[in-house]
Amino acid sequence: MEKNELYARARRAYELGRAKVASKAMGAAAVLALAAVTLGRSPAQIAFLAVLLVPLVGALAFRGRAAGRAVWPGLLAGGVAMLLPLGVVMGGDAWLGIDCMRFCVPACVVGGALTGAAIASLAARQDSGESEFLLGGIAVAALTASLGCGLAGGAGLVGMAIGAVVGGAPVLVAAHARR
pLDDT in tens, the chain (179 residues): 688 888 888 889 999 999 999 999 999 999 999 988 887 777 888 888 899 999 999 999 999 888 899 999 999 998 888 887 766 666 664 555 566 666 667 777 777 788 888 888 888 788 777 778 888 888 898 888 888 776 555 556 666 667 777 676 676 666 666 65
Within 10 Å of residue 96's Cβ, how many Cβ atoms?
10
Global pTM exceeds 0.75: yes
| Cβ within 8 Å of residue 97, ≥6 positions away | none
The pLDDT of residue 93 is 47
Q: At what angle do helices 43-63 and 3-38 cross, to 10 degrees?
A: 160
The pLDDT of residue 28 is 95
